[in-house]
Amino acid sequence: MTDTPGIAAARRPVPLSRRRVDWVLLAFFAVNLCFITYFVDIEQLTVANAAHFQYPLWPPPAIVNLVHAYGRHYDPLLMARPAFWRMTIWIDVLWNGPFYVAAIYALARGRDWIRVPALIWSGSMSAVVLVILAEEYSGVHRAPHFGFVLLLNLPWLVLPAGTIARMAREHPFTEPALAPGRLPRQRPGRAGGNMSRPAFALTYGPWALVAGGSEGLGGAFAEELARRGVSLVLVARRPEPLAQTAARLRATWPVEVVTVAADLAAAGAIGQVADAAAGLPVGLVVMNAAHAPAGPFLAAGEPDIAAAVHLNCGAAALLAHQFLPAMVERGKGGVIFMSSLAGLQGVPNLAVYGASKAFLISLAEALWAETRAAGVDVLACCAGAVITPGYQQAASRPAPGSLSPAQVAATALDALGHGFRVVPGRLNRVNTFVLEHLLPKRAAISVFGRATAAALNSPGGQA
């Protein structure tokens, strides 16, 4: 997707001083260019036989001696120099070297054209390093101290992965220009957040609507928003927990709370919510309400399937459609769709739920592109297992990567304005990268099918 001229004109460069990841990539590319590619690699090409040779004109003898000493003690592959190894060296000299020059310039000057070459470099570098490590681990030229060799090669696996993540954005070096009335992003000013409480309330307040906001993850969103000074419209099906949550928030924080007891999957519910919020400047909508029918698709009842589609998909789209126009007019605001890791691929025994969460990811990406030039931030939060009360009842112990509702809510709110998707939790982000970029789709579906756990069957949990 490319920006229209109007949207392109509404973007501004992000200075290099704020692009910390780019400093790491610049240093890495410079080391490769100035040492690996045109010193170490040239030695590998100019010295065909490491046992009988004369020192070449380039590289200097000290580099030749360094390479040979390392090869003799740690990596016989550098000394043997088989045909496949020399082929990787030629790739490095003829393709990677010029790429490093272009990448250093593009990162320093903020040029979007480097995205495609960077993605090609990342894929080719990862493939070459994996082949080399396989030979050093179990091939003819296996390394006597493989652990040390692996440690030295880790940057050539980690940095390509980081480059893929960095270049996944359509415009990695620019950001939307400030719309009228829009507050500038603030640098981190407190632990766990990217914006001070007053600035957050001014940008995404003074009111927020939380669908499914009576308990569990929705309750955590309500608590965190109230802590940030934002008044609340809470929507949930059951009036008793809704009233209890509202009373607690009013007693704890200096905010107003309006409650709406409504089933968002029912006809007329969106109108009921709109009437309750009429006249309130709602600057943030959190669509957390969801229905998760678990079990084989063919065993599911029609009411369960219809409820999941109407609530997870229809109500989310209609709520966004109801409140986004006023945000765009004000030039600020945000929408968070609570999606799931289950939306990144099909999940056996959670077919409709996973499909509905995939809908939210796609919807968030499209609305992010449509509204960001107006100063409105749209985000899909793809949570893993969340330790809600329902999850604790269903699961004997937390799954790896499980997070508390408060952690997920804070992560999602802090991610507003920093892209169209966030995955809370480091382990979940690593798993997501592996499932999306390293595993074939068939394998990812199989992994999720086998890993369908109690959290997926919990009506209050996120998967």
Q: Name the residue ranges covered by the structural domains of the chain.
A: 16-166, 184-457
Residue with token string 């892209």: 419
Coil, helix or strand for 359? helix
The span from the CA of 350 to the CA of 80, in Å, is: 53
The span from the CA of 39 to the CA of 385, in Å, is: 48
The span from the CA of 234 to the CA of 258, in Å, is: 6
Q: What is the pLDDT of residue 18?
A: 85
- Other CB atoms within 10 A of residue 162 CB: 17
Report the sign of the C-alpha dihedral through residues 43, 48, 50, 53, in that order: negative
Q: Is 3.40.640.10 the CATH classification of the domain at 184-457? A: no
pLDDT tens string, the chain, 463 residues long: the values are: 344 333 344 578 888 888 989 999 999 999 999 999 999 999 999 999 998 999 999 999 999 999 999 999 999 999 999 999 999 999 999 999 999 999 999 999 999 999 999 999 999 999 999 999 999 999 999 999 999 999 999 999 999 999 999 998 888 998 876 544 444 444 333 333 457 777 898 899 899 999 999 889 999 999 999 999 999 999 999 999 999 999 999 999 999 999 999 999 888 999 999 999 999 999 999 999 988 888 888 888 999 999 899 999 999 999 999 999 999 999 999 999 999 988 888 888 889 999 999 999 999 999 999 999 999 999 999 998 887 655 444 444 556 667 889 999 999 999 999 889 999 988 888 888 877 777 788 877 887 777 664 444 444 444 4
Active site residue 353: yes
Report the sign of the C-alpha dihedral through residues 100, 102, 103, 105, in that order: positive
Coil, helix or strand for 390? helix
Q: What is the pLDDT of residue 15?
A: 87
34 contact partners, CB below 8 Å, separation of at least 6: none
DSSP 95-108: IIHHHHHHHHHHHH
Question: For 206, how many CA atoms within 13 A lie in the half-sphere containing its CB?
Answer: 7
175 contact partners, CB below 8 Å, separation of at least 6: 11, 12, 14
DSSP state of 254: S
Task: Return the ∠ at Cα 366 (arms to 452 and 180), rounded to 5°.
Answer: 130
**Neighbour-count burial for 312-346, b at 16+ CB within 10 Å, e otherwise:** bbbbbbbbbebbbeebbebebbbbbbbbbbbbbbb
CA distances (Å), 320 to each of 49, 79, 327, 331, in order?
A: 67, 62, 10, 16
Q: Tell me the pTM.
A: 0.59
Q: What is the pLDDT of residue 387?
A: 75
Coil, helix or strand for 238? coil
Catalytic option among 38, 100, 105, 353: 353
Residue among 166, 30, 43, 165 at smallest CA distance from 97? 30
